[in-house]
Structure 1
Amino acid sequence: MNWQGWAEIALTLSLAVAIGWPLGVFMSRVWNGERTFLDPILRPVEAVFYAACGVDPKKSQSWHAYALALLAFNLAGFAITYAVLRLQGVLPLNPQGFPGLSEHLSFNTAISFVTNTNWQSYSGETTMSTLSQMIVLTVQNFVSAATGATVAAALARAFTANRGEGLGNFWADLIRTTLYVLVPLSVVVAIVLVALGVPQTLSAGVVAHTMEGADQKIPLYAVASQEAIKMLGINGGGVFNANSAHPFENPTPLTNLITAVSLNVLGWASFFAFGRSALVKKDIRALVISAFVLLFAGAATIYATETRVPPAQMAAGAETTVNMEGKEVRFGAPATAAWAAATTGASNGSVNGMHSSLMPLGGAMTMFLMHLGEILPGGIGSGIAVMVVMAILAVFVAGLMVGRTPEYLGKKIEAREVKLSILAVLAIPVSTLGFAAIAAVLPEALKALMHTGPHGLSEILYAYTSATANNGSAFAGLSANAPWWDATLGVSMALGRFPPIVAVLAIAGALAAKPKLAPSAGTLPTHGGLFVGLLIGVILILGGLQFFPALALGPIAEHFQALAFVAGH
C-alpha cells in the first residue's frame, strides 16, 4: 500500500460522483419532460417513436399499468433475443460463421441481457456473431438500463404526488431516457475510446504472423460502441472473454480510468436525478454519502488484502511482494481494487482482473458488496430505488424506537410500504442462498466446479450472488455453460430483477395516493449524520447477517486455511 494507490482509488470513485451530479440534473430534466439543449434534434425523433407505438406521453399510468407495461416490454425483449441467438447460424452479419446457441445458453443469455445482468456463460469472441452482438445484445444494453431508470422516475413522482394515482408513462420514460441520456453519452464515449485505440469494425478479424512463422487470427468486432454502453448502462458484458483486462477493450491506463468512472457515473446520476425530481436534494445527499462510505470501505479492504504478502510467498520468506495473480499488470493492484469494488457495488459486472485470484478476504468483499443490495450506487435507477427502500426500513426501525408512525420524504410509512420493502430486499438472499444450497449437494452441479472445499463453495456462492444481484461478474473456475447452471442462473437473474421492481412500483403507487406532509417537530431528520449512521447500520445488518454463515464457510474459512499454511511453515 502507498499513497499513490490510495489517491488512485479516491480519484476513480470520486470522479464518478462529481460527474454524476450535473448528469443527474440533466437526467431529472429528461424524466420531467423539461426542455434540454438536445430538444431541437431529438424532439422530432421522440415524436416519431410515440406515433409509431401509439403512445400518448402525457397520459399517466397507475402503478399496475406501469408495471404491466414494463414486464410486457421486457418479455418481448427476451423473446426476440432468444430467437436471434438460436437462429444466429442462418442470419446475416456472421462473418465468423458461428452456429446458433443451444437452448439453455440462449435462455441464459437472453435473460441475462434483458435483466441488465450480462452474465456470460460463453466466450464472446468464439460464440457471438457480429449481428448478435449489435442487434440484440447491444440493444438490450440500452433498453435494460433505461428500464431501471423508469423505476426511479416513477418512484420520484410518488413522493411529489399529493393524493394522486399516476406515476407517469412507462413508454415515455423509456424512450426519453434512451434517446436523451444513453445514446448521446454512448456516442461521445465510443468516439473517445476509438481515438484511444479501441477497435470499431465489422471485420471478422485480422491475421497476425507470429515470431515462429505461424499465422494467428485475432478476432475483431465493433468494440468501442459496445464498450461505451457496457459501462454507461452499468451492464458489464464484454465482447471478449477477458472483459476489460483485454487490450482491445481497455488498451491504456487512460481508457482504464475513463471506463472505470463510466461504469459508476450514471448510477450516481440517478441518485441526484431522484433528489431533484422528488424535491428532496438534502435527503438524497445523505443516501449518496452512505453509499460512498460503504463503497470506499469496500475498495479499501480489497486494496489492503491485495497489497499484503500472499501466504505462500510469506512462507517462502518474502516480505515486500504483493498479490499480482489475476491482475492486469498494466494497471496494478490499486486499479484492480477500485474496479472490483466499483463493479460489484454498481451491478456492472465488468472486470479488469480475475476475482477468483483475489485473496480470500478480497473475494469475500466483492461478494459482500453485492449482498448489500446493489445500491453502491447500483444500476441506473434500480440502485437508488432499492436505496430508498433501505431508507424506508431505516425510518421504520427509528419509528419503532421512539414509538411513532415513521415518515420519509413527506410521506407516512405504514404497514403496506414496510411489507413491500421487505419483499423487495428478500429476493437476493432467498435466490442466492436457496440455489447455492441445492448446488452444493447436487452432483450434476458440482461437476462444473474447478475447486473443492471453501474455494469451491465460493465459486457457487459467487455465481448465484452475481446472478441474483444482476451484477454479472464471474468468480472464475466455474464451467457455467451447462443445462443446470444456465437454467438456474437464468431464473436467479429474473428473480433478482422483476419481483423487486414490481414491489418498488407497488410502494410508489401506495405513496402517491397519500397526502404530502410537512415536517413536524416529531419528524426524524433524514439528511444529517445521525440518519447516515442509521442507514449504514440497516444496510450492513440486512446484507451482512443473512450471508455471514455462507461467507464463513467459503472465503473466510479459506482465509484461515491460508493462515494455517503459513503457521505450518
Structure 2
Amino acid sequence: MTFIALVVGGTALISWPAGRYMAWAMDPGTSGRGNANAFTNLFQSIGGSITRASQDWKQYMISLLAFNVVMFVLCFAILALQQYLPLNPDGKEALEGSLIFNTTASFTTNTNLQHYSGEVSLSYLSQLAALMWLQFVSAATGIAALAALARGLAGRASGNFFVDVQRASFLVLLPIALIVASLLVIGGLPMTFNGAAVATTLEGVQQTIARGPVAAFVAIKQLGTNGGGFFGPNSTHPLENTGFWTNALEMFAIIIIPMACVWMFGRIVGRIRHATVVFGVMLALLLVKITGAGYFETAPTEAFAGLPIEQNVGNLEGKEMRFGATGGPLWSVLTTSTSNGSVGAMHDSLNPLTGLMPMIGMWLNATFGGVGVGMINMFLYMIVGVFIACMMIGRTPEYLGWRVEAREVKFAMLALLAHGFFILVGTAVFAATPWGQNTLNNIGPHGFSEMLYEFTSASANNGSGFEGLGDDTTPWNIATGLVMLLGRFIPIILPLAIVGSLSAKRRSAESSGTLSVEDGTFAGMLIATILVVGALTFFPAATLGPIAEHFIYMNG
C-alpha cells in the first residue's frame, strides 16, 4: 500500500503544477505568465507560412492526418532499408514486409505493439530515428489534438496543428524526457552507441549482452505513453529497469502526463472545478482496478495451491521478484489505464481475474488514457452522459454552455462503438479461423483471452500483450496494423468534429436550470455512463475469456 501511495498519490500531486506548465506551453494565453508567445514566433519561423494561419477544426484535422502520413512513410523507409543505413554496428538485416507495416503503424499511432524483439531485430538508427522519434511526435499529436479540442470548447479557434505539435514536442515532452533520462542513467541504465558487449561467464562461456542508447529510449517510451521496449522483455529487462527507484520512476513517468492533461484541459476551457471532478472520476476508477488486481493476484498458482494459508505468497509466476509480488499487478493496471503498453511482469501469467483488470482499462480507455487522447476519450463519455441525463429529467442537454443535440451524440457513440467493433469482430474472426487458432499456445478460455487481449491492445493503442500468442504472422501483422490505424484516428477525428459542430452554434449562458458539470451528481452520472457502455459492449466477451477461466480454475 505504501508503494501504491508513493507512485499514484505522489504523481497525482505533481500533476497539478505539471498541468499548469502544460497549459502555459500549449496555450500561452491561459496562464498570464511568461512569454510563451516568443516560442510561437520561433516555431512559426521554423515551420514557415504553413504555421502562421489559424485553422478551423477541418483544417486542423487535415494537417494532423497529413503529418501522420509523412511520419508513416519515413518510418517505413528507415525500417525497410536499415541494413543499408548507418548506426548498425551489429549488422541487423531487414524485417519481413508485413512486420514492417505493423511496426510502422504501431509507432505512428502511439501504440508500440511489438511483434519483434528490439535488440534482436533493429539497428540503433531504426530504434532512434524511426521509433524513438515517433514516440515523441505521435505523443505530441495527441497533446495537440486535446489542446485544439479544449480551445474549441472555450469558444476560440482551434489553433495551428504544426505549431501545437512543436509546442508539445519541444516544450513538454523533450524537457521532461531529458530529466527522466538523466535520472535513469544515474539509476544504471545504459546510454551508449557501442555494439553489444561480449563477456566471459564464470563457467568460461562467452555471452553477448545487447546494449545501446537505452535510457533515452525508455524515458520517452514511458512519458509519451508509448510502451515499446528497447529490449524484448521490456521493463522486466534488468538493463531497462535496474532497481526499486528506476521502477518507481518509470511508473511515475507512465501516468504523469496523462494526469496533467486533465488539468491542462481545465485551464484552457477555464473550468478547473470541472477538471477536478473529471480527475476524481478517473482516479477512482484507477484505484478500483488497482485494488482488484492486487486482490485477485493473491490467489496462488496451482503449484502452491495446497500450502497452508499462512504460507500463501500469491501468484509469483511471471513476476519480477526484485519488485515484489504486487509490483507486476500495479504496473499492469497503470500501463493499460494510460495506453502505455510497457510491461513490468508477464501479463499472460496473471490470474484470470487479475488479467481482466488490464483489459477493462483498455476497454474503457478513459481512466487517464494516452497523452491527450485519454481526456479526448473521456470527452466522448461526457457528451453521451450529459445528453442521457438531461433527457431523463427534461432539460435541454448542454455541456459548458454548448447545446448537445443528436448530431454530436451520434458522433460520440460512433467513436465509442467503433472501439468495441474493432476488438470484438477482430477477435471473432481470428478465433474462428486458422489465422488465430494456429498461433495459440493455450486452448480454451485462456487462448481466447490471448486473442481478445491482442485486439483490445491494438484498438486501444496500448501495445502490451498476453505473450503466449504467436502473433508475428502475416494475418496478425496486417489485421492489428489496420486496427491500430483506425483505432487511433477515428477517436481523434470525431471528437474534433463534435467540437466543430458545437462551436457553429450560439453559446448559452449557464443558469440554475443548467445541469452542473462541477458536482457529485455529474461525477456519478459520468461513472454510470462509462460502466454501462463498457459492460454492454464487453461483458459477453469477458465471460468467454477470463471469467470462464476463473471458474474453471476454481473448480479444479
Under TM normalisation by the shorter chain, which class is it?
over 0.9
When structure 1 is superposed on structure 2, of 352-361 and 208-217 the one drifting more is 208-217
* Aligned equivalent of 1:362, options 349, 354, 358: 354
Verify the 8 A CA contact 1:157 1:512 in the aligned structure 2. Answer: no
Q: Give the alignment's TM-score, normalised by structure 2.
A: 0.97
- Name the residue aligned to 1:327: 319
Letter in 2 for 1:86: A
When structure 1 is superposed on structure 2, of 315-324 and 512-521 the one drifting more is 315-324
Verify the 8 A CA contact 2:461 2:487 in the aligned structure 1. Answer: yes
Deviation at 1:284? 1.1
After superposition, residues 288-367 of structure 1 pair within 5 angstroms as 288-315=279-306, 319-367=311-359
When structure 1 is superposed on structure 2, of 8-17 and 166-175 the one drifting more is 8-17
Verify the 8 A CA contact 2:64 2:161 in the aligned structure 1. Answer: yes
Matches of 1:381 and 1:331, distance apart in 2: 30
The answer for unaligned runs of 5 or more in structure 1 is 1-5
Verify the 8 A CA contact 1:355 1:475 in the aligned structure 2. Answer: yes
Verify the 8 A CA contact 2:101 2:478 in the aligned structure 1. Answer: yes
* Aligned equivalent of 1:11, options 6, 11, 17: 6
- Name the residue aligned to 1:129: 123
The answer to whether 1:171 aligns with 2:166 is no
Matches of 1:56 and 1:134, distance apart in 2: 27
Matches of 1:158 and 1:444, distance apart in 2: 44
Matches of 2:555 and 2:527, distance apart in 1: 34
Matches of 2:470 and 2:327, distance apart in 1: 27
**Residues 1:529 and 1:49: Cα distance change in structure 2 (over 3 Å):** closer
* Aligned equivalent of 2:522, options 527, 531, 547: 531
Where 2:252 maps in the other structure, the secondary structure is helix
Deviations 1:43-75 (A, max 9, x none): 57x655533432464532111111100000001
After superposition, residues 206-221 of structure 1 pair within 5 angstroms as 206-221=197-212
Q: Give the alignment's TM-score, normalised by structure 1.
A: 0.95
Q: How many residues end up aligned between the 2 structures?
A: 554
The answer to whether 1:483 aligns with 2:477 is no
Deviation at 1:312? 4.5
- Name the residue aligned to 1:22: 17
The answer to whether 1:404 aligns with 2:395 is yes
* Aligned equivalent of 1:186, options 174, 177, 202: 177
The answer to whether 1:114 aligns with 2:105 is no
After superposition, residues 371-382 of structure 1 pair within 5 angstroms as 371-372=363-364, 374-382=365-373
Verify the 8 A CA contact 1:206 1:219 in the aligned structure 2. Answer: yes
Letter in 1 for 2:520: G
Deviation at 1:32? 1.4
Deviation at 1:543? 1.3
Where 1:207 maps in the other structure, the secondary structure is strand
Letter in 1 for 2:329: A
**Residues 1:253 and 1:316: Cα distance change in structure 2 (over 3 Å):** closer
Letter in 1 for 2:335: T
- Name the residue aligned to 1:3: none
Letter in 2 for 1:477: G
- Name the residue aligned to 1:64: 58
Matches of 1:188 and 1:312, distance apart in 2: 43
Verify the 8 A CA contact 1:360 1:558 in the aligned structure 2. Answer: yes
- Name the residue aligned to 1:79: 73
Deviations 1:8-66 (A, max 9, x none): 223211222211111111111112135899969x957x655533432464532111111
The answer to whether 1:560 aligns with 2:546 is no
Deviation at 1:534? 1.2
Matches of 2:175 and 2:389, distance apart in 1: 43
- Name the residue aligned to 1:151: 145
Matches of 2:398 and 2:34, distance apart in 1: 38
Matches of 2:7 and 2:386, distance apart in 1: 32
After superposition, residues 448-463 of structure 1 pair within 5 angstroms as 448-463=439-454
Matches of 1:356 and 1:419, distance apart in 2: 37
* Aligned equivalent of 2:245, options 241, 254, 260: 254
Deviation at 1:159? 1.4
Verify the 8 A CA contact 1:13 1:338 in the aligned structure 2. Answer: no
Letter in 2 for 1:535: L
Seq. identity, %: 43
CA RMSD of aligned residues (A): 1.7
Matches of 2:42 and 2:115, distance apart in 1: 37
Matches of 1:171 and 1:562, distance apart in 2: 53
Matches of 2:184 and 2:52, distance apart in 1: 38
Letter in 1 for 2:209: I
Deviation at 1:485? 0.3
Deviations 1:468-507 (A, max 9, x none): 0000011111111110000000011011101111101101
Matches of 1:43 and 1:243, distance apart in 2: 39
Deviation at 1:404? 2.1
The answer for unaligned runs of 5 or more in structure 2 is none
Where 1:377 maps in the other structure, the secondary structure is coil
Where 2:192 maps in the other structure, the secondary structure is coil
